[in-house]
Structure 1
Amino acid sequence: MSITVSKLCHDTRYFFYKQIGIIFFISIFVALINILIDMFIEPDIHIVSIIENNKFINTGSLLELIGNMNLEEKNELLKYSIVKIIESLMSKTLLLGSTIILISFLSENRNKSIVSAIYSFLSFLPNLFILNFLITFITQIGFMFLIIPGILLSITLSLSPIIFSFKKHGLIDSMRLSMYISWKYIKIIGPGILFWICSKFILTILVSHINFFNKNILFLIFNISINILFSILIIYLFRFYMILSRS
């Protein structure tokens, strides 16, 4: 069976509209958890003001900014950064795991109880978190050097969670196989990842220029929108791997 971008977009759109209620529920649920975690985090006000006001625009100014901080401020920045990274990984893992289990549950021909699906989801999360950490770490290293390596790593590693969810490969093997398949089918995988990156960038720019909304409501809407877009990407990638596996 031939795989084309138009066919995958059609399949993704069909699945999304058919399961739009569940996808919205998952997106809202993950966004609310994200907000709850933020409520329990109380970083130093000075550090937050620096980050929110975007007082650094590149690596050089960031290093200069850190160099001008005292030891206490550096510790606060480090703690805040670690917490935000963990929060982001937890949200991504929860959304990714929920969407993958949902697609698997609806795609399997054999009858499967909701209890077994929940058990699969809970047993899947810890390893998925580790996998997400590895992928994020590698891609961020790529983005630190140049944008192109970061984008290429994002594309080539994008199938790793999907491959791992089939429970036929370990963490490293899933990443290795993802790099091989994604590079081979980069003309199909690439547009999906670029759509996700551009959509996230545009949404971030739009939100940063909206001043007439309550910040908390805006943050909730932004998170829900990002989660929905990421769910669409997961559906696209999962459908691609399913067709590839069958062929």
Structure 2
Amino acid sequence: MSITAGSLYRDTGNFLRHQLVTIVLMSLLTSFITVLIGHALTPGADQLSMLTDGSRGSGTSLLEMVQNMSPDQQRILLRASAAGTFASLVGNTLLLGGMLTLIPMVSAGQRVSALRAIGTSAASLPRLLLLVFIMTLVVQLGFMVLVVPGVLLAVVLALAPIVLSAEKVGIFASMRLSMRLVWGHLKLVAPAVALWLLAKIVVLLLASSLTVLPANVASVVLNALSNLISAIMIIYLYRLYMLLR
């Protein structure tokens, strides 16, 4: 049986429609956890946020802003950057683990809540966290070289978390298997990954229109929207993987 993008989009839409409330709640929950971890690991972030907002208002560039900071403020900025990266990794891993648990359980006819899906995935979260970290590092290195290698790496590694969860193989074995599977079906994976990356960029651009909301609330909303986009992508890729198997 041939696999078409149209059938995958329909299957994804059907699953999303039937599990919309659960997926939205999971997106909000993981977004809240991400923002909470980032805030907890960055004491003094409120002061730094006021400083950066004032610098934007005065037209100061980012480099000038950093140069004008005191050593303490520079340390807070570095800590905030590291905390934000770690919080994002944890949030993405929780969302990924929850979705990779939710999809097969729902397909088996079970009723699953967002909390139960994330809780059930707890045993696989450490390996998923390490895989997400390695994938993020590799893709970011690809983007640092040129944009095209970064996009290509994001495409060929897209199925790695699903392989890791479904096949119970090692981290690097799942990455190798993902490359082999995706390379033979680039026409099905590459457009979906490109749309996902484009949607993520649009969400980042929306940040400037949410200045009326408190910073933490805006962060939760934007992260939740980004998580929802990622959840849709996970459904699409999981369905593709099941058909390839």
Q: TM-score range by the shorter chain?
A: 0.7 to 0.9
Q: CA deviation at 1:243?
A: 0.5
Q: Residue 72 of structure 1: CA displacement?
A: 5.2
How high is the TM-score relative to the length of structure 1?
A: 0.84
Q: CA deviation at 1:108?
A: 3.7
The answer as to 2:185 corresponding to 1:185 is yes
- Match of 2:61, as an amino acid? K
Residue 219 (structure 1) shift: 2.2
Per the alignment, residue 42 of structure 1 pairs with: 43
Q: 1:202 to 1:113 in 2, by over 3 A?
A: closer
Query: Contact 2:200–2:226 at 8 Å: present in 1 too?
Result: yes
Give the stretch that moved more between structures: 84-93 or 180-189: 180-189
Change (3 A) 1:49 1:238: farther
User: Does the 8 Å CA contact 1:156/1:183 hold for their aligned counterparts?
Assistant: yes
Identity across matched positions, percent: 33
Number of equivalent positions: 238
Counterpart position of 1:26: 26
1:47 touches 1:76 (CA, 8 Å); kept in 2? no
Q: CA separation in 2, counterparts of 1:194 and 1:31?
A: 23
Q: Structure 1: 5+ residue runs without aligned partners?
A: none
Whether 1:142 aligns to 2:142 is yes
TM-score when normalising by structure 2: 0.85
Cα deviation code 1:205-232 (max 9, x no counterpart): 1222443344333222211111111100
Cα shift at 1:67: 7.9
Structure 1 range deviating more: 39-48 or 153-162: 39-48
- Per the alignment, do residues 118 and 150 of structure 1 end up closer, same or farther by CA in structure 2, a change over 3 Å counting? closer
Tell me the equivalent position of 2:215. Answer: 215
RMSD of aligned alpha carbons: 3.0
Structure 2: which 5+ runs fail to align? none
Q: Out of 55, 59, 81, which is 2:61 matched to?
A: 55
Q: Deviations over 1:148-199 (max 9, x none)?
A: 1111111111110000001342100000111121122111001111111111
1:1-247 aligned at under 5 Å gives the runs: 1-40=1-40, 41-43=42-44, 45-46=47-48, 49-50=51-52, 53=56, 55-56=61-62, 75-108=75-108, 120-245=120-245
> CA separation in 2, counterparts of 1:198 and 1:113?
30
SS in 2 for 1:42: coil
**Aligned-partner SS, 1:166:** helix
